[in-house]
């Protein structure tokens, strides 16, 4: 083999290795982008599920505590009216024995 032939073989060999590395890098980059896209979709799905669960929990809390809060407000109003109409009992009310 002559020197020129060896240079050509070496250049072709190096070119083939470079093309192989380029293709492998491209495919790896593409696979990583696909994986990143899937991870983003998964995170968005989890976030939307968490928001839906939070909204349902808030709704349940409102359904439970809104009537109780209304009852407390109404009791305070009735107590205020009772203090005005029954002044003799307002001094001893509420009874606390500690």
Per residue in 15-66, pLDDT (tens digit) is: 999 999 999 999 999 999 999 999 999 999 999 999 999 999 999 888 888 8
CB 90 within 8 A of CB 83: yes
pLDDT at 93 over 70: no
Q: Average the pLDDT over 66-81 and give the result.
A: 90
Q: Average the pLDDT over 71-84 and give the result.
A: 89
Q: Which pair of structure tokens corresponds to residue 49?
A: 């599920």
Q: Which single residue is written with the structure tokens 């109003």?
A: 77
> 93 CB contacts (<8 Å, ≥6 apart)?
82, 83
The pTM score is: 0.50
Distances in whole angstroms, Cα of residue 3 to Cα of each of 6, 7, 8, 9, 66: 5, 6, 9, 10, 92
CA distance 75 to 95: 16
Could you say which DSSP state residue 92 is in? T
Q: Which pair of structure tokens corresponds to residue 34?
A: 């696909």
CB atoms within 10 A of CB 24: 10
């Amino acid at each position: 083999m002559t020197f020129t032939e060896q240079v050509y073989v070496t250049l072709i060999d190096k070119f083939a290795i470079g093309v192989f590395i380029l293709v492998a890098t491209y495919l790896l980059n593409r696979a990583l982008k696909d994986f990143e896209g899937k991870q983003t979709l998964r995170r968005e799905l989890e976030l939307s599920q968490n928001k839906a669960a939070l909204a349902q929990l808030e709704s349940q809390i409102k359904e439970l505590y809104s009537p109780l809060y209304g009852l407390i407000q109404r009791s305070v109003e009735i107590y205020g009216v009772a203090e005005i109409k029954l002044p003799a009992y307002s001094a001893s009310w509420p009874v606390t024995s500690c």
